[in-house]
Chain A
Amino acid sequence: MAFTPTQTDTAPPVSASKGSTGRAGDKIFSGLSKGSGILLLVIMASIAAFLTYRASIALSKNEGNFLTTFDWNASANPPVFGIAVLLFGTVVSSIIAMAIAVPIAVGIALFISHYAPRKLAAPLAYVVDLLAAVPSIVYGIWGALFLVPQLNGLNLWLDEYLGWTYVFDKTQVGVARSLFTVGVLLAIMILPIVTSVSREVFLQVPRMNEEAALALGATRWEVIRTAVLPFGRSGVISASMLGLGRALGETMAVATVLSPSFLISLHVLDPGGGTFAQNIAAKFDEANEFGRDALIASGLVLFLLTLLVNGAARLIIARRKEYSGANA
């Protein structure tokens, strides 16, 4: 995920060669930075090439349709495997995670940056940053042992009152090892990163813009609505994409919580489903050479999915670039 929020807002860097006077220091630094840039491209390209090569081996022998097949029988003869379930599960659990996490994260970020008294804001910000550092396996264990039983009640409640929406209709009994639970867990996991990037962006809103709103007779909420949120918009999108990237690729936490099955069901409360990363983690150890190639093919799709998501986010940001506040 080569995507940082600062990249979106800053002007392109001044060409290094222009200021160069031919001194040794300039040359070394210019060479180093150019080298780092090229290295990054080389790494990206070799990852893509590796994935594509190994994936093509598996795909050429696949007897099923890779995109529409539900099952994953790479070791069968002939092999039949497809990503339909994985793509569905990955996207649905990430959408649930984003829907829960982004509004809460923006709320926390606004509270820390604009509402909380200073004495409270600093420790709160620190705690949020600390949460971002918790390893995902810890979240996974916590999710499986604590969150799953706790969410049983919520699942039943959603089923009873929102069951008519189809999405929240729980058709199978059993513990909440569902895509919904995975979404909730992912939401908790991405909350800190989305919060802390959003907070930084909100803190960068120029004081004079906020004063302009105040002097027009804006209340505190109106200041946030007219000056803070529009200014932070692209930053919040970037933050969400960082979170989404983590949610899409999250492995251990999902593998620990979900009880996988190769079914597609929009009843998100029902146990079952799967994600790319979870499927790879679950099968990689036991897979033979060909099975691994097949898993790599699914990894390639995940890779493309994240690229697509990032690209879309950049488009959204670029579309309103002249209003971003960067040229103020």
Chain B
Amino acid sequence: MAKRIDVSGLSAFYGNHKAIDDISMTVEPRSVTAFIGPSGCGKSTFLRTLNRMHEVTPGGRVEGKVMLDDENLYGANVDPVAVRRTVGMVFQRPNPFPTMSIFDNVAAGLRLNGTVKKKSELNDVVERSLKGANLWNEVKDRLNKPGSGLSGGQQQRLCIARAIAVEPQVLLMDEPCSALDPISTLAIEDLIGELKERFTIVIVTHNMQQAARVSDRTAFFNLAAVGQPGKLIEIDDTERIFSNPSVQATEDYISGRFG
């Protein structure tokens, strides 16, 4: 299920502007890797290069390699659509399809993939995914109600259920809790702990306590100045990053001396 991500020499551009510069890192399967760093350092951009969502932005362009086990996501014959089916994503703001019911939201990915499943099979996957997202008990009696009627935290878990329903190898999360209250945040963090048994998880967060709580490894990104491309400063075990980082800038950021 879960796969290793191996990034080498990756740069991303918006038109002529270089947003991130020459990033290399390895993300282990069945682990949680957190990206931290000041605003504008390119951590979200980097995350979006991992499922080829960056190039959806007008002018978006990527150089370098992203290996998912043995396959280069930016290989010549690789279909970005297929990549996104393997590498799922959860966004900053909960974005369930407003026109669909809770059930249809979770089933959306399965229906897309063309594998027209039997109704009973679809029911199973939807139930399993909602249980996997710790949402089943709250919504099992109103699966046909619109997804947009849920609370923010429930909507975000619905989006997670939608993402894991298609059984991706990797789950990318772009500040998944930044629009949520502390209780909903806690629910998502607990969920991340459970999901890493099955998926490789990469999470961007502005909340350093969150990074410390949920992740096994932490990557610190920074930029030299506004307008300069973001760079990976270091990546290490989370415990080490938060106790004894090897780069001074990391320690300054974590202890709140800048950023």
Contacts and interface: CB of A to CB of B under 8 A. Distances in A.
B176 to A, nearest CB: 13
B78 to A, nearest CB: 13
Contact of A215 (B53, B99, B100, B146): B53
Contacts of B51: 215
B163 A217 contact: no
B109 A211 contact: no
Interface string B57-94: 00000000000000000000000011111001101010
B159 interface: yes
Nearest to A219: B81
B107 to A, nearest CB: 11
B226 interface: no
Interface stretch (A25-33, A145-153, A165-173, A318-326): A318-326
18 contacts: A208-B91, A209-B98, A211-B53, A211-B91, A212-B91, A214-B56, A215-B53, A215-B84, A215-B163, A216-B85, A217-B109, A217-B166, A226-B112, A231-B99, A322-B145, A322-B146, A323-B98, A324-B98
B100 A208 contact: no
B244 interface: no
A206 B95 contact: yes
A37 B212 CA distance: 58
Interface of A: 206, 208-209, 211-219, 222, 226-227, 230-231, 233, 322-325, 327-328
Contacts of B9: none
A327 B84 CA distance: 28
A217 B99 contact: no
B149 A322 contact: yes
A217 B95 contact: no
B148 interface: yes
Contacts of B43: none
B108 interface: yes
Which 6 residue pairs of A and B lie closest in terms of their CB atoms, listed nearest first?
Answer: A217-B85, A230-B99, A328-B98, A325-B98, A215-B89, A216-B109
Nearest to B111: A226
B197 to A, nearest CB: 22
Q: Main secondary structure on chain B at its contact with chain A?
A: mixed
Interface residues of B, number: 31
Contact of B56 (A211, A216, A217, A233): A211
A327 B155 CA distance: 13
Given A216-B166, A217-B166, A231 B84 contact: no
Contacts of A227: 97
B162 interface: yes
Contacts of A206: 95
Contacts of A327: 98, 146, 148-149
A216 B85 CA distance: 6
B162 A216 contact: yes
Given A212-B91, A213-B97, A226-B100, 8 more contacts: A212-B97, A212-B162, A215-B88, A217-B85, A217-B109, A230-B100, A322-B145, A325-B98
Interface string B143-161: 0011011000000000100
Contact of B84 (A214, A325, A328): A214
Greatest chain A CB density within 10 A among B88, B98, B100, B113 is at B98
Contacts of B91: 208, 211-212, 215
A285 to B, nearest CB: 51
B123 to A, nearest CB: 19
Given A217-B166, A218-B81, A208 B112 contact: no
Contacts of B83: 217
Contacts of A216: 84-85, 88, 108-109, 112, 162-163, 166
A324 B146 CA distance: 10
